Chain A
Amino acid sequence: MLRGGYAGKILKIDLTNEKIDTVNTESLFDTKLFIGGKGLAAYILWKELKQGIDPFSEDNLLIFATGPLTGTLCPGTRMCIATKSPLTGLFCDSYVGGHLGAEMKMAGYDAIVIRGKSEKPVYVWIRDEQVEICDAKHLWGFDTFKTEETIQKEKGDNSVRVACIGPAGEKLVRFAHINVDRYRQAGRGGTGAIMGSKNLKALAVKGTGAITICDTDGFVAKAKEAHRAVLENEVAKARKRWGTARTIIFTADQDLLPTKNFREATFEGAENLSAEVLEKRFWVKHRACHSCPVNCAKLGVVRHGRYAGTVVEGIEYETLALIGANCGIKNYDAVAYANLLCDMLGLDTISTGNVIAFAMECFEKEILTVKETEDLKLNFGNEEAAIKLIEKIAKREGLGDLLAEGVRRASEKLNAECRKFAMHVKGLELPGYDVRASPGMGLAYVTADRGGCHTRSWPISYEISGKAPDGTVIGRYSTEKRAFMVKKQQDENTACDTLVACWFLKGAVGNERYVDMLNSATGMEFTTEEFLMVGERIWNLVRLLNIREGMKREDEKLPDRVFEDPIPEGIAKGQKLERGQLERMLEEYYTIRGWDERGIPKKEKIRQLGIGFLISEFKKNI
């Protein structure tokens, strides 16, 4: 029996036959093994996702999962949206802040599991126990802002929380996002395209109930202590003032900033895109997700020039890096407008920046000509062309139709030459860190469970400081200790993703305080070691799931560019990765993980993690 933290129920919706079920949270998964959030979503996908299906088939599942600390006093909690990704064909968990997770909990649900496909456009309306599948014909074609606003107006309540897709999700753009609370996005992996494939335009939630806490006094004391720790933490303080935007000067200085499709690693326009410029010229207000003291979100307004009137939250580092530097665009106002377009049309800015930069390189190499681009002059730095291309991608018009498939599929349809600079791992476009001057990040990308991703581990800080977490002195471009660092961070981050705690506060809050809050909220009795083992357990579960979906060791690779084209300029000039380096790190990583040489978890590892019962289920499936 769940005593607090959890809402206690999970909502299951089958859109094919309009069947709605509410089940006890504990009937679907063991909270002691998987806690919630990513763990809950991964285990349900393991149990209920049919093997080998097309991600766009009606059999795919879309799971909106909260954790036991979502919506509580724990500083900075979010929610997880999981599915089988249309980009990678693998497990995908995409996270989003805002207020939807808290609203779901107050409506009484730990998670919402959606399967099937509606014949016509619908949206799901949840008000506590009342759940309806509503006609969305009038919303189809709307951008995300208009969709949210229309639903709120219809319900006569601005506090209705809406997750929705824009035209990109409707058109099954493989990197379409799900938009929440106007400016928050579950960006990565194409969760929005899965909504589109189900004819599901939106999920709207109003919760009038309450979240209960097992030991209120204990929990409040621990949570307040965590808040103090965050407000005193230097990294959190910087983030509170400058958001993620501050990273761009750091990566530009360190030769880590993807520039002109990852050809260069520093950008002459970085200063124009810096947090200092945005603070002076653009930002008007700080904003925060539910229960977060850090307020890393910044509301900005462009006041002058052709993009005057652009109002958007951001610009986040990843958008500055991928749509800015990676496309050679140095005007923050153009990037702000592109950001707004992506939010409204429903596109992930990381993948969008990648496919545009890829098309620009193809254009400069004459792999694409004005015939294919319909007269767009796709040179690096052409902001107008990039903005037009964003609209074409969202609507799958002309060249946009090819790019909407993501950089892996687009490069496979063009020619062998361009595959070398299609910057993805396992089909997921790379985020804002060049790996040529960061071997650890290379290992982080190839082993990340959802494909090329920076949020599972980010060993860059250790590489720059020259010290591994165990105190070993390491060289910046060496491979020593990388496997150890990457595994450690992956396990820790995955444990936090069960709560669901925001990545930006993890360092300041620390594992011990998370465990204290988890225990006092739920009445469970985790030690820090057990909590971290939950992370490792889920990492292995997702590994098995990905292997079941066909992932092979050969897929754990980086684009040829990082081995062939040395960094042309900056402090790491001449630096590139060697193929042997990646092989060595990967072998060491498999060994530390207790996986065999093919990257498959060994039986004794699975047993040691307390999920031996998965072995028979796994065998049955491969």
Chain B
Amino acid sequence: MPTAVVVDYKLCTGCRLCEVICSLANEGKISSNLSRIKVYAFPPGIDVPIVCAQCERAPCIDACPQSALERDSNIHAVIVNEEKCIGCGLCVKACPAEAVFIKPEKNVAFKCQLCGGKPECIEICPTNALSLVKVKFDTRIFAKKADEIAEELREALMLPKEENYHA
């Protein structure tokens, strides 16, 4: 059964330890630009981590003209075959969550590949906002954009539309 990093958005504090460990573990250096999980901040104080949902009918796989994106047979993550990838960016455009990126130096696509089954971001997350969940897909696409999630969260927390301030 496919697995994915699932986010409990209310628990995210915006510390971005997931970004730090992701880039450090996968790329050997610390950089938001090289992280496969990204935390977006929306005022006032909303934090939305975005990471690949490993969709069952993955739009990125369908969009790739080189068949460079494939489903890993063990952990069922969508992985990039760097040999085949030509860096055209069609997968980036196809992803509804904007969770696929192009690596600047190498000009190849990169995305969350679940760290071979033990995602580093889940281990480091200090509030357990992230967990590895076996997903029973029913052909829906789970991925969502950060601003949509932020809006839902704003409503869930009952944050006022306008702040009370009249100095």
Contact between chains at B14 and A213 (CB < 8 Å): no
Asked if A595 lies at the interface with its beta carbon under 8 angstroms from chain B, I say no
Contact between chains at B158 and A210 (CB < 8 Å): no
Contact between chains at B13 and A210 (CB < 8 Å): no
Q: How many interface contacts (CB-CB < 8 Å) are there between A and B?
A: 137
Contact between chains at B126 and A309 (CB < 8 Å): no
Contact between chains at A159 and B20 (CB < 8 Å): no
How far apart are the CA atoms of A364 and B159 in the complex, in Å? 39
Known: A158-B42, A310-B164. A208 touches B33 (CB 8 A): yes
Interface-facing stretch out of A340-348, A399-407, A442-450, A599-607: A340-348
Contact with B along A259-291 (1 / 0, CB 8 A): 000000000000000000000000011111111
Hey, which chain B residues are within 8 Å of A289, CB to CB?
15
Of B14, B47, B124, most buried by chain A (CB within 10 Å of CB) is B14
Contact between chains at B43 and A145 (CB < 8 Å): yes
Hey, which chain A residues are within 8 Å of B160, CB to CB?
301, 308-309, 311
Contact between chains at A295 and B126 (CB < 8 Å): yes
Asked if B66 lies at the interface with its beta carbon under 8 angstroms from chain A, I say no
Of A99, A391, A394, most buried by chain B (CB within 10 Å of CB) is A99
Contact between chains at B15 and A311 (CB < 8 Å): no
From residue B149, how far is it (CB to closest CB) to chain A in Å? 14
Asked if B67 lies at the interface with its beta carbon under 8 angstroms from chain A, I say no
Asked if B16 lies at the interface with its beta carbon under 8 angstroms from chain A, I say yes
Of A73, A181, A307, A345, most buried by chain B (CB within 10 Å of CB) is A73
* Nearest residue, chain A, Cβ from B15: A288
Asked if A486 lies at the interface with its beta carbon under 8 angstroms from chain B, I say no
Known: A72-B30, A295-B126. A220 touches B24 (CB 8 A): yes
How far apart are the CA atoms of A61 and B93 in the complex, in Å? 46
Asked if A190 lies at the interface with its beta carbon under 8 angstroms from chain B, I say no
Hey, which chain B residues are within 8 Å of A311, CB to CB?
44-45, 159-160, 163-164
From residue B51, how far is it (CB to closest CB) to chain A in Å? 16
Known: A285-B10, A310-B163. A293 touches B15 (CB 8 A): yes
Known: A291-B15, A301-B158, A311-B160. A213 touches B30 (CB 8 A): yes
Asked if A436 lies at the interface with its beta carbon under 8 angstroms from chain B, I say no
Q: In the complex, which of the residues A182, A231, A291, A308 contacts B43, with contact meaning CB atoms closer than 8 Å?
A: A182
Asked if A29 lies at the interface with its beta carbon under 8 angstroms from chain B, I say no
Contact between chains at A291 and B16 (CB < 8 Å): yes
Asked if A439 lies at the interface with its beta carbon under 8 angstroms from chain B, I say no
From residue A161, how far is it (CB to closest CB) to chain B in Å? 10
Q: In the complex, which of the residues B13, B14, B28 contacts A216, with contact meaning CB atoms closer than 8 Å?
A: B28
Of A99, A291, A313, most buried by chain B (CB within 10 Å of CB) is A291
Hey, which chain B residues are within 8 Å of A389, CB to CB?
none
Known: A284-B157, A301-B160. A291 touches B41 (CB 8 A): no
Q: From residue 1 to 50 of chain B, which have CB atoms closer than 8 A to chain A? A: 10-11, 13-17, 20-21, 23-25, 27-34, 40-47
From residue A540, how far is it (CB to closest CB) to chain B in Å? 33
How far apart are the CA atoms of A209 and B32 in the complex, in Å? 8
Hey, which chain B residues are within 8 Å of A208, CB to CB?
31-33
Asked if A292 lies at the interface with its beta carbon under 8 angstroms from chain B, I say yes
Asked if B162 lies at the interface with its beta carbon under 8 angstroms from chain A, I say yes
Number of B residues contacting the other chain (C-beta, 8 Å)? Answer: 41
Asked if B139 lies at the interface with its beta carbon under 8 angstroms from chain A, I say no
Asked if A437 lies at the interface with its beta carbon under 8 angstroms from chain B, I say no
Hey, which chain B residues are within 8 Å of A313, CB to CB?
45
Contact with A along B54-79 (1 / 0, CB 8 A): 00000000000000000000000000
How far apart are the CA atoms of A210 and B24 in the complex, in Å? 10
How far apart are the CA atoms of A449 and B102 in the complex, in Å? 48
From residue A48, how far is it (CB to closest CB) to chain B in Å? 30
Hey, which chain A residues are within 8 Å of B23, CB to CB?
210
* Nearest residue, chain B, Cβ from A302: B164
Known: A106-B31, A287-B13, A288-B14. A341 touches B167 (CB 8 A): yes
Known: A208-B33, A212-B29, A308-B164. A149 touches B14 (CB 8 A): no
Known: A182-B43, A210-B34, A345-B167. A293 touches B126 (CB 8 A): yes
Hey, which chain B residues are within 8 Å of A293, CB to CB?
15, 17, 126
Contact between chains at B24 and A292 (CB < 8 Å): no
How far apart are the CA atoms of A384 and B104 in the complex, in Å? 55
Hey, which chain A residues are within 8 Å of B10, CB to CB?
285
Contact between chains at B30 and A99 (CB < 8 Å): no
Q: From residue 58 to 113 of chain B, which have CB atoms closer than 8 A to chain A? A: none
Contact between chains at B124 and A224 (CB < 8 Å): yes
Beyond the given pairs A285-B45, A344-B167, 7 more chain A to chain B contacts, judged by CB atoms under 8 angstroms and listed by A's residue number, are A106-B32, A292-B15, A292-B17, A299-B44, A311-B44, A311-B164, A391-B167
Chain A to chain B contacts (Cβ below 8 Å), 6 pairs: A182-B43, A210-B29, A220-B24, A288-B15, A295-B13, A295-B127
The 6 closest A-B pairs by CB, nearest first: A309-B164, A293-B126, A210-B31, A288-B15, A288-B13, A210-B29
Residues of A within 8 A of B (CB): 71-73, 99, 102, 106, 143, 145, 149, 158-159, 181-183, 207-213, 216, 220, 224, 227, 231, 284-295, 297, 299, 301-303, 307-311, 313, 337, 340-341, 344-345, 391, 394
